[in-house]
Amino acid sequence: MTAPFFELGMITENASLVIALGLGVAFGFFLERGGLGNARKLAAQFYLTDLAVLKVMFSAIVTAMLGLFWFSKLGLLDLELVYVLPTFVAPHLVGGLVFGVGFVMGGLCPGTSCVSASTGRIDGLVLLAGMMFGIFVFNEAFPLVAPFYNSTPIGQVTIPELFGVSHGGVVLLVVLGALGSFVLAERLEARGRARDS
C-alpha cells in the first residue's frame, strides 16, 4: 500500500498544514468556477431553475467514490486507514434537515460562504458571522443537547456494510442514481429556460 501517506508516517505535521492549504485552494477554485460562490445560483437549486449544486456535488461524490474504490482495489490505497466518521442516526438526519432549512434561507453553505465572502459578497461575510453565532449557541446549549447529540450511534458503518451488500454494487447504484438525476436536472433547466424566454 502506498497511501494514505500521512497515516503511513510519510508526511510531517507542518507539511500536512501546507497540504491543507493547497487542497483548500483547489477546492475553493473549483467551487467558484462552478458558480457556487453566488448565493442566488446556489438557492436556485431549490426552485428547480438552476441545478448546479446538484451537478457539482454529485459529480464530486461520484468521482471521489470511484477513485477510492479503484485505488484501493489496485492496491494503491489502504482503505482501512481512511477515517470514516461514526454514524449517529438521529442527529445526522435531524442535523441534515435543520441544515437544509438554513441552506435555502441563507443561500450558501459553510464552504461556499467562504468563497462568496472572498469574492466580495457582503452576504457571504454576514452568513459566516451567523454561522459562527449558531455554533456558539449550540455550544452554550450543549448540556441540554448532549443526550440527543450522542443518541442512536451505530458506529463507523458504510451503506454496503449496513445492508450486507457488495460495495461495488452500491457504487454502481450511486453512479446510476447520480446520472439519472443529471438527466432530470437538464430537463428541468431546459423547461425553465423555455418558460422564461
Question: Site residues for other proteins, window 38-67 (CB under 8 A)?
Answer: 38-41, 43-47, 50, 52, 55-67
Residues 88-117, interacting with other proteins (CB under 8 A): 88-89, 91-117
Should residue 22 be labelled a site residue for other proteins when binding is judged by CB under 8 A? yes
- Helix, strand, or coil here: 104? helix
Whether the CB-CB separation of 90 and 152 falls below 8 Å is answered with yes
Binding mask 130-169 for other proteins (x = CB under 8 A): xxxxxxxxxxx-x--xx-xx----xxxxxxxxx---xxxx
Best CA proximity match to 82, nearest among 12, 8, 168:
8
Confirm or reject binding of residue 174 to other proteins (CB under 8 A).
yes
Count of residues interacting with other proteins (CB under 8 A): 152
Nearest distance in Å: CB 134, other proteins: 2
Provide the residue type at 152 as one letter: T
Answer yes or no whether residue 4 interacts with other proteins by CB under 8 A.
Answer: yes
Q: Look at the block and give the residue holding cell 436556485.
A: 44
Q: What is the 8-class DSSP label of residue 10?
A: -
Q: Is 9 in the site for other proteins (CB under 8 A)?
A: no
CB of 192 to other proteins, least distance (A): 9
CB atoms within 10 A of CB 128: 16
Q: Tell which phi-psi region holds residue 113, choosing left (phi > 0), alpha (psi between -120 and 50) or beta.
A: alpha
Contacts of 173 (CB under 8 A, 6+ apart): none
74 makes contact with other proteins (CB under 8 A) = yes
Which CB, 145 or 184, lies closer to other proteins?
145
